Amino acid sequence: MGRAWVGRAPLSPEELQKIGPQARKWAAEQILNVWRRGKDIDNPRALWGDELEYVMVEFDPSQSRATAVLDQENVLHRWNDQVSSTLGESPEYEAMDLQPEWQNFSIESTPSKPYTDETRDLLNVEKNMKRRRALIRDLLGPTQYPLTIASFPRLGTKGQFTTPHYDTLQSDVHHRMVPPQVVAPGLRYSYINQQVLGRRKRPVGLHVPIYRDCNTPRPFLDEDCLAEGALFGKDSVYLEGQAFGGACCALQTTVQAANERDARWLHDQLVILGPTMLALTAATPIYKGYLVNTDSRWDYLTASFDIRTQEEEFKFLETSKPCCSSPLTRWSSNRVYLSHERPTDISNACGQVQMDEPAKRQLLDGGMDESIASYFSNLLWHDPLCLNQDAIELSSPETTHMFEKFQHGVWKHVHLKMPEASTGAGWRIEFRPMEVQLKDSENAAFAVFMFLLSKAIMAYRLNFYIPIELVTESMQLAQKLDAVTKERIWFRRRDWAPGGLNSVQCNPQHGCSQSQMEDTYALMTIDEIINGEHSTLPARFPGLVPIVRSYLLERDLLPNEEAKLMQYLNLISCRASGTLPTPARWMRDFVAEHDDYQQDSVVSEKICYDMLREIVNMNEAD
């Protein structure tokens, strides 16, 4: 979620309102300078990397209890001490970098150096992930383990769910379910919480639909919800506080494109692929010790960073259209396409997307085209969450302080990163919707697949464009229970590639009907998108895995190399077809088959303990 906080405290919401117009002007000037320096850069090196987030868990066999370990700061100190003491003498410690995360019980790891597209690097991803997990394990206590789970299943339950234990009954009004100690000690995270709550003027409250099993009470009434008198929360699990969204973990990949043109094209195609990959990696079926009726975390992240007042929320509900969620929600799916090479019938932005018009005019006057100016003016429409006096005093056209304050307070599911003079990094695209997987082999498979798919997109100029409003709709569908096998999402099935690759798409000489030719995009299953449509018509979409397989076979691979990479593709293929369960489905099945489960949607302390222990065993055997 960005860099640690340095310097003085942020300005208040009232102070931000006053400085806002000038801050946007400075930020737009800095954006233009970065863009001008980087717009002609051409760096063909195919560098890429991943980010993995872990939940640190302690197991107490005497109590059959698993708890989240609130020890991020000490773990990072121990890591820094070990790295410093080796002074480059041990290559083992060069495997990764560690960073803090929003929640005090989580930590983020990345490979210390970017990967290349060489086959040896592709095959090294899984080894690197295993090494990173082992190194983090060494920093923890003897009964503590780093787990790649998307959320801690019993966060916010009655009783103990953290180590050390803090009594939430003694917490302030904004932390009734989760103690404030869950937030990482870094000032940046505390300030973000303060700014969100300060503007909302009330706690973040989420109602998650309960999963109805045979013995689930009808109606189901969460006692926390009843305590607030919120009768509209019937048949919902009530989650109060940012932790239920902010504490979720993800698998992210970042790919460097050769130039701005390729980066903008890749950005747009990955925006469209977001719902597909969210459904494929679904891993969040349990909140506050209950099975819920959704499988993914995305909407709860969105709600956790919703800074609307109650009046603004009511007004939005009265006037909104289905295509876009609240403009004041800082965590959301993308609303703007970047490439001006998109098809002429595809608009560059959602009709309701909010943009700062003076900033947009400044960017256009500075030489940007409509698409990229819309992208950044949408970012600048939001107030910066953590702007302080230091950034104001340090702001100049040659720095990026002000731009970063805006950028680090808005999170979309695909993120454009412009070239950095300080690091030599080129144009990069960060892909953010995937949920972290239970095993390193699975995380490696999805990371490698996304890199190879990105390379195929740029090499073949694959065109998956659909109206961007349909991406938002698909992100909602992709979060539903068992969406990977039960839902259809919007995807392009015609005119998806130029030249030879288009031999499988519809054209008049194949005898396709007019209606088939007009069906450029449609609601498709995840299996059809990943493995191809089950049709004998020449117009069938062949599937993303077959496209990546074709791209991969153009490389000069040894038999063992090809076998390993094909194993990753087969994992993606089987996940899409339903023959391999998502982590969410695996967790649901584990709970349902547990001897202690009463078919009442309750994931007890014992069930949670056994499930997380089994995840440890899976990784040790992997």
Task: Quick: pLDDT tens for 414-473.
Answer: 999 999 988 889 999 999 999 999 999 999 999 999 999 999 999 999 999 999 999 999
**Could you tell me the CA-to-CA distances from 370 to 160, 333, 336, 344, 364 in Å, in that order?**
53, 20, 11, 14, 7
Comparing 358 with 300, the larger pLDDT belongs to: 358
Comparing 199 with 487, the larger pLDDT belongs to: 487
The residue among 442, 525, 529, 576 whose CA lies nearest residue 150 is: 442
| Residue 137 maps to a domain | yes
Radius of gyration for the chain, computed over Cα atoms and rounded to the nearest angstrom? 24
pLDDT above 70: percentage of residues in the chain: 88
Q: What is the pLDDT of residue 316?
A: 65
Domain range for 617 is 40-351+425-447+593-621
| Residue 110 maps to a domain | yes
Structure confidence by residue, pLDDT tens digits, 144-180: 999 999 999 999 999 999 999 998 655 554 557 888 8
Q: Report the pLDDT averaged over residues 300-319.
A: 76
Element (H, E) at 491: strand 488-492
**60-69, 371-380, 490-499, 529-538: least confident range:** 529-538
- Per the omega criterion (within 30 degrees of 0), is the bond before 219 cis? yes
Q: What is the pLDDT of residue 502?
A: 47
3-state secondary structure of 291: strand
Specify whether the backbone of 514 is left (phi greater than 0), alpha (psi in -120 to 50) or beta. Answer: alpha
| Residue 273 maps to a domain | yes
Give the span between the Cα atoms of 93 and 78, in whole angstroms: 12
Look up residue 11 and give its two tokens.
């300005």
Q: Report the pLDDT averaged over residues 369-397.
A: 86
| Residue 473 maps to a domain | no
Q: What is the pLDDT of residue 246?
A: 83
Q: What is the pLDDT of residue 468?
A: 94
Q: Are strands 411-412 and 331-332 parallel, antiparallel or unpaired?
A: parallel
User: CATH number of the domain that 597 lies in?
Assistant: 3.30.590.50
| Residue 459 maps to a domain | no
Q: Report the pLDDT averaged over residues 350-365.
A: 92
Q: What is the pLDDT of residue 511?
A: 37
Q: What is the pLDDT of residue 504?
A: 39
Does this model's pTM top 0.95? My answer is no
For 273, what's the count of Cα atoms within 13 Å in the CB-facing half-sphere?
27
Structure confidence by residue, pLDDT tens digits, 214-260: 999 999 999 877 655 555 678 999 998 888 888 899 999 999 999 99
| Residue 28 maps to a domain | no
Q: Are strands 236-240 and 286-287 parallel, antiparallel or unpaired?
A: unpaired
Structure confidence by residue, pLDDT tens digits, 182-225: 988 866 677 777 777 777 777 888 889 999 999 999 999 998 77
* Residue 70 and residue 182 in contact, taking contact as beta carbons nearer than 8 Å: yes
Q: Report the pLDDT averaged over residues 475-502.
A: 88
| Residue 465 maps to a domain | no
Structure confidence by residue, pLDDT tens digits, 259-270: 999 999 999 999
The residue among 395, 412, 370, 329 whose CA lies nearest residue 24 is: 395
* Residue 34 and residue 404 in contact, taking contact as beta carbons nearer than 8 Å: no
Look up residue 229 and give its two tokens.
């008198």
3-state secondary structure of 287: strand
| Residue 87 maps to a domain | yes
Domains held by the chain: number: 1
* Residue 4 and residue 389 in contact, taking contact as beta carbons nearer than 8 Å: no
The residue among 124, 114, 130 whose CA lies nearest residue 430 is: 114
